[in-house]
Amino acid sequence: MNRLITKKIVTILPLLIGLILGVYYILINENVNPMIGLFLGFLLGVVVSTLFSVISWIKSKYISESLEKIMSNIFLIGLILTILLTVLLSVQWIPNYFNSLYILFGSIMVAAIGFYINSRLENEKEYRKIIRFSYIVKDNINNNKKIAEKLNYILNKFGGRKLEHLNIVFFDILTSEMIIMDLKPDFVLDLISIKELTFNINDSISKRNNILNLLNKGIPPEAELYDIYDDIELAELSYMNRKLKKDFKTMIKKSSKFLEKKYHSI
């Protein structure tokens, strides 16, 4: 609330100061047309107020989100000043040499609308690219979720069967794209969390499959050594089974939340 009041004061105060300076200019120069003095004071106030607003937006955390607003406001101010200048010239309250201001105001308006249109085009291009990217991400996450559900079922029904790995190839492509694209932080953090969990699961699956390979090699000649060896490997297999069951449940839960969550503008 206080911040909003401060912004309004910063916007209005230069206009009042400009008008006061215009009145002062009229008082010390009796031969000056009062409308010229007021116009110059108002023009000065508008310029200063605009500069304060632009500086405030530039200092904001995300200037890219304020760029279009800055350009549209500059265009609007240029348009208002052009209309005001036209009215004052039409009623002959200011001399004709103020016609040169049309060039200044016109240049400001053209530059502002040019920046605005370019910014909109770039943002729309980036938005469409991000939407396509999100579809690919969600499709891969959904496929891995289905694989995790299948592996979890196999693990519960057939504890001694080898498991296939989750798909991680697409994560390499996604990582490079995440660096380039202007993605929302929560989207990136959720995706990184799923990526880390996927790699951990694949690492656990590899270790479990290695344990099964050792157990399936056959009984070694030394029976006593085998008994010790078998107990250790079976304990490790049991531990890996419990760990993977827990990780699969977490993976399914995280993936479901990721697919259901609405990432505004991603």
pLDDT, residue 205, reads 93
Three-state SS at 87: helix
Q: Compute the distance between CA of residue 163 and CA of residue 157 in angstroms, rounded to an integer.
A: 12
Residue 192: left if φ>0, alpha if ψ -120 to 50, beta else—which one? alpha
pTM tops 0.85, yes or no: no
Tokens of 94: 């200011």
- Does the pLDDT at position 62 exceed 80? no
- Domain spans of the chain? 2-94, 128-260
Residues sharing a CB contact under 8 Å with residue 44, sequence separation 6 or more, in sequence order? 14, 18, 21, 22
Residues 96-124 pLDDT 10s: 777 777 787 788 888 888 888 888 888 88
Please, where are the H alpha helices in the chain? 2-28, 34-58, 63-90, 101-157, 169-180, 185-215, 223-260
> What pLDDT digit, counting tens, does each position of 139-156 carry?
999 999 999 999 999 988
pLDDT (tens digit per residue) in 28-49 = 666 656 666 666 677 767 767 7
What is the residue-averaged pLDDT of the chain? 77
User: How large is the average pLDDT for residues 188-197?
Assistant: 90
* AA letter at 17: I
Residue 19 has pLDDT above 70, yes or no: no
17 pLDDT above the threshold of 90: no
State the distance between the two ends of the chain, measured CA to CA, in whole angstroms.
29
102 with 85: CB under 8 angstroms? yes
| pLDDT single digits (tens) 6-16 | 555 555 666 66
Query: What is the predicted pLDDT for the residue at 237?
Result: 82
Write down the pLDDT at residue 79: 80
pLDDT digit string, tens, across residues 214-227:
777 654 544 444 44
Please tell me whether residue 59 adopts helix, strand or coil conformation. coil
As a whole number of angstroms, the distance between CA 28 and CA 54 comes to 33
Distance (Å, rounded) from C-alpha 16 to C-alpha 59? 24
